[in-house]
Amino acid sequence: MAEAIGRPKVAFYARFADGADAADVLGRAVHAAEGIVAGLDPAIDARLGARIVDFPEIAHIRLMAASLPPFDLAFLLVADDADRGAMEQAAAALADALADALVDREVLVGREVAITTGDGPVFCTMPLRRLPSLDRPGFMQAWFGVHAQLGVEVPGVRYRQNHVDLAATDALKARVSGEGETLDGLAESYFDSIEHGFEIMSQPSVEIDAIVDEKRFIDHSRSRFAIYDTIWRRGGQATTNPAS
């Protein structure tokens, strides 16, 4: 697949601390995000996602049942042309605002490459780490050079790859008290609804072909998988009430 430049992207993920009230944390997250992004460049698209805990079982959920636990909260910032540093500061500010309620923080700073077009309020995310047998160029060749074409061929899919700026990601990871190895990449797909997501993710081209190919380069035991509902988006409408 031809090289693509992509768009500046910052992503922050975390799990809820033990004993934290999910509805309360999500309500706080929405309130904090609104204030944090108020002064940002209007070109920056920002959204908060809450993990859908009762998504119907699909092959990827079964595959990763014993993998690292999924993140509960997602904060995504992306723009066609904007100061990525401001997006990094916004992610750090949200981490600070929710510091008492979050654990197991993860970040990505890099570029979002749209393998296919389209958006939606429901999205699945796979923070990826490569097989130990692969170096980063080998991982990128397998993921972007080969696997991306499989995504193109999935009917109706809206698939994005997020490519990592290692130095910037490590710096932000330290800023938000993240632990563990830096991500090798972050895959995303977007859907109109839970039903639409189930339909797309249940196709043989995803639950068979894509998974077979993933096993060539992804260490699923050190990666994660979850599906999220957009609870707040800058200039848009939430699909759920985070306080309910």
Residue 244 in any domain: the answer is no
CA-CA distance, 225 to 179, in Å (whole number)? 18
Q: For CA atoms 30, 119, 169, 41, give the dihedral sign.
A: negative
Q: In 38-135, where does DSSP find H-type helix?
A: 59-63, 84-97
What would the pLDDT profile of 128-162 be if each residue is shown by its tens digit?
Answer: 999 999 999 999 999 999 999 999 999 999 999 99
Residue 240 in any domain: the answer is no
Residue 185 in any domain: the answer is yes
User: Looking at residue 236, what is its pLDDT?
Assistant: 62
The residue range of the domain holding 113 is 7-233
Residue 46 in any domain: the answer is yes
Backbone φ and ψ for 90, nearest 5 degrees, come out as -65, -45
In the chain, how many domains are there?
1
The fraction of the chain above a pLDDT of 70, given in percent, is: 95
Residue 215 in any domain: the answer is yes
Residue 1 in any domain: the answer is no
Residue 243 in any domain: the answer is no
Q: Please list the pLDDT of the chain residue by residue as tens digits (244 residues).
A: 444 679 999 999 999 999 999 999 999 999 999 999 999 999 999 999 999 999 999 999 999 999 999 999 999 999 998 889 999 999 999 999 999 999 999 999 999 999 999 999 999 999 999 999 999 999 999 999 999 999 999 999 999 999 999 999 999 999 999 988 999 999 999 999 999 999 999 999 999 999 999 999 999 999 999 999 999 999 765 555 443 3
What would the pLDDT profile of 222-234 be if each residue is shown by its tens digit?
Answer: 999 999 999 999 9
Q: How far, in Å, are 59, 70, 143, 212, 219 from residue 215 at the CA level?
A: 13, 19, 11, 6, 7
Query: What CATH number is associated with residue 92?
Result: 3.30.70.100
User: Looking at residue 81, what is its pLDDT?
Assistant: 86
User: Looking at residue 204, what is its pLDDT?
Assistant: 96
> How many beta carbons lie within 10 A of that of residue 87, not counting itself?
27
What would the pLDDT profile of 47-60 be if each residue is shown by its tens digit?
Answer: 999 999 999 999 99
Task: Extract the tokens encoding 238.
Answer: 């939430």
| Beta strand segments in 179-240, E | 185-191, 226-233
In this prediction the pTM is 0.94
Residue 117 in any domain: the answer is yes
